[in-house]
């Protein structure tokens, strides 16, 4: 059937009928006409076809592509153009999924010499506090504090700002500046990355990351005064945004709870911790905060229940004695 149709359409009589008007014209001229006609078609159709493109492409200068495609490849170029505009451009995957990275064991160079000197945070602090540590020892002590960026070491490094030795002061200043700078840089990169996402991409992971980054600034005690309130506000905003998109993310609830605790909104904090628990967060991760919140709002009865449900809580140095006290009195 199809074959017959094709046969007819391409048969000499049919083609001859089509080509009668052109019969007298030399092939070269005819070809020129064909090129021109096809070029005109290309110019006329490129714009309408470009309108078929998916939304983000629509306002760009896309017609060139279609003009060239249709003009250089007669007949089928038109089909290529239409299929590009309608189907092929819509094939792309929504967003790139971050690939999991595996960490391999680092190759150790045989060149490396063995070393054995170590210094804990306490030792480092003792050296810095000594009146005359000597620049070299002092520098080593400060550098030993540095990689342990945490809540405890930031104040120590900050205290070294007052050290009589100028080298140490400057180094301490630089170290604090760097810690904050590193986080600020990651935050900036993340914000940029979020800006450049394709439309309708999933933003929740970015919001979550940002919330935790701002939290890190607070946690490491790197922002002070108003900068601290600013960081808390940012952390809160991003955590809110993230939790709207991922209502079942227990870690986000914990974060929200801790932010609320920091701002003394204890009832709200308790709610978040309860949510986190119900979402199967590891109890050991939450209980200390949970207990503290209950303690703060004066819900000692609940605290006692908590203690009997999770006896490990009694091992916590800050809460254990309180719980034991209340357990005794009732």
Partner 1 sequence: MSDNFPKAESADIVLLLEGTFPYISGGVSTWVNQLMRGMPEYRFAAVFLGSRPEDYGAVKYEFPENLVHLETHYLFSQTDMPPIETPRRNPGTSRCLHDIHASLRDPNTSSLPDRLRNIDFFFDPKNGIPQEEFLYGLDSWEYITEMYQTRCTDPSFVDYFWTVRNMHSPIWKLARIAKNLIPGRVYHSVSTGYAGTLGSLLHWHTKRPLILSEHGIYTKERRIDLFNATWVADRRSRLERDPSEISYLRELWIAFFESVGRMCYDASDTIISLFPEAQARQFDDGAKPERCSIIPNGVSIAPFAALHGQRQDDLSAPVLCLLGRVTPIKDIKTFIRSMRAVVNAIPKAVGWIVGPEEEDPDYVAECRSLVDSLDLNQHIQFMGFQRTTDILPQVHLLVLSSISEGLPLVLLEGFAAGVPAVCTDVGACRRLIFGEGDDTYGAAGDIAGIADPKALGVAAVALLRDPERWRNAQRAAIDRVERFYTDTLMFSRYRALYQQAHEASDLPIAPKT
Partner 2 sequence: MAGIGFELRKLLRHDDYFGLIRAYSYAGIIGAGPWVISILGVVLLGILSTNHVFPPNLVSQFETSVTYLIAGSLIFSGIWQLAFTRYVSDRLFAREHDLVLPNLNGLLVAAMGSGFVLSGTATLFLFEGTGALYRLLMSALFCLLTGVWVITVMLTGLKHYRAIISAFVVGYGVALSVGLLLRPFGLVGLLFAFFLGQFLLFVGLLAVIYRSYPSRQFLAFDFLKRGQMYASLLACGFFYNAGIWADKIVFWFTPQTSQAVIGPLRASAIYDLPIFLAYLSIIPGMAVFLMRVETDFVDYYDQFYDAVREGGSLSHIRNMRNGMVTSAKTGIFDIIKIQSLATIVAFVIGPAVLRFLGISLLYIPLFKIDVVGAGLQVVLMGILNIFFYLDRRARVVWLTVIFFGLNLVLSIISTHLGLYFYGFGFSISLLVSVLIGLVWLDKDMERVEYQTFMLQPWSH
Among 278, 274, 280, 282, smallest CA distance to 256 is for: 274
Among 76, 83, 17, 9, smallest CA distance to 41 is for: 76
Q: How many degrees, rounded to 5, is the angle at CA 327 between CA 322 and CA 330?
A: 120
9 near partner 2, rule: CB under 8 A:
no
CB 88 within 8 A of CB 54: no
In this chain, which of 21, 26, 100, 106 binds partner 1, going by CB under 8 A? 106
Q: Find which of partner 2, partner 1, none residue 93 binds, CB within 5 to 8 Å per kind.
A: partner 2
76 near partner 2, rule: CB under 8 A:
yes
Name the residue nearer to partner 1 (CB basis): 231 or 286. 231
Name the residue nearer to partner 2 (CB basis): 81 or 211. 81
Among 299, 283, 216, 312, smallest CA distance to 273 is for: 283
Q: Interacting stretch for partner 1, rule CB under 8 A, among 1-9, 39-47, 177-185, 292-300? A: 177-185
Beta strands (DSSP E) in 119-270 are none
List of residues 6+ apart from 76 with CB closer than 8 A: none
Give the span between the Cα atoms of 80 and 72, in whole angstroms. Answer: 12
Q: How near is the Cβ of 240 to partner 1 at its closest, in Å?
A: 22
Q: Find which of partner 2, partner 1, none residue 212 binds, CB within 5 to 8 Å per kind.
A: none
36 near partner 1, rule: CB under 8 A:
no
40 near partner 2, rule: CB under 8 A:
no
Q: How near is the Cβ of 212 to partner 2 at its closest, in Å?
A: 23
In this chain, which of 115, 192, 199, 315 binds partner 1, going by CB under 8 A? 115
34 near partner 2, rule: CB under 8 A:
yes
Give the span between the Cα atoms of 286 and 251, in whole angstroms. Answer: 10
192 near partner 1, rule: CB under 8 A:
no
Report helix, strand or coil for 43. helix
Q: How near is the Cβ of 147 to partner 1 at its closest, in Å?
A: 5
Q: What is the largest CA-CA distance in the chain?
A: 116
Other CB atoms within a 10 A radius of the CB of residue 31 amount to: 11
112 near partner 2, rule: CB under 8 A:
yes
Residues forming the site for partner 2 (CB under 8 A): 3, 6-7, 10, 22, 27-28, 30-32, 34-35, 53, 56-57, 60-62, 64-65, 68-69, 71-77, 79-80, 83-84, 87-89, 91-93, 96, 107-112, 198
């Amino acid at each position: 059937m199809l074959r017959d149709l094709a046969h007819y359409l391409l048969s000499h009589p049919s083609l001859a009928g089509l080509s009668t008007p052109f019969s007298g014209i030399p092939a070269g001229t005819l070809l020129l006409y064909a090129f021109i006609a096809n070029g005109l078609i290309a110019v006329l159709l490129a714009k309408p076809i470009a309108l078929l493109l998916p939304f983000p492409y629509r306002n760009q200068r896309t017609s060139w592509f279609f003009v060239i495609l249709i003009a250089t490849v007669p007949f089928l170029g038109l089909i290529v153009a239409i299929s590009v505009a309608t189907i092929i451009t819509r094939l792309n995957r929504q967003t790139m999924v971050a690939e999991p990275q595996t960490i391999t064991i680092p190759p150790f160079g045989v060149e490396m010499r063995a070393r054995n000197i170590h210094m804990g945070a306490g030792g480092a602090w003792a050296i810095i506090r000594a009146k005359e540590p000597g620049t070299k020892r002092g520098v080593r002590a400060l550098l030993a504090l540095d990689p342990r960026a945490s809540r405890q070491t930031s104040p120590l490094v900050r205290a070294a700002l007052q050290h009589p030795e100028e080298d140490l002061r400057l180094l301490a200043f630089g170290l604090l500046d760097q810690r904050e700078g590193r986080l600020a840089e990651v935050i900036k990169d993340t914000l940029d990355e979020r800006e450049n996402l394709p439309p309708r991409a999933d933003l929740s992971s970015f919001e979550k990351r940002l919330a935790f980054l701002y939290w890190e600034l607070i946690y490491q005690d790197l922002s002070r005064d108003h900068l601290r309130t600013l960081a808390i506000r940012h952390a809160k905003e991003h955590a809110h945004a993230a939790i709207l998109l991922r209502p079942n993310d227990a870690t986000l609830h914990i974060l929200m709870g801790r932010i609320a605790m920091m701002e003394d909104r204890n009832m709200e904090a308790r709610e978040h911790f309860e949510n986190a628990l119900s979402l199967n967060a590891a109890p050991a991760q939450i209980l200390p905060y949970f207990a503290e919140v209950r303690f703060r709002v004066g819900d000692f009865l609940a605290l006692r229940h908590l203690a009997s449900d999770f006896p490990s809580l009694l091992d916590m140095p800050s809460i254990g004695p309180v719980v034991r006290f209340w357990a005794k009195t009732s």
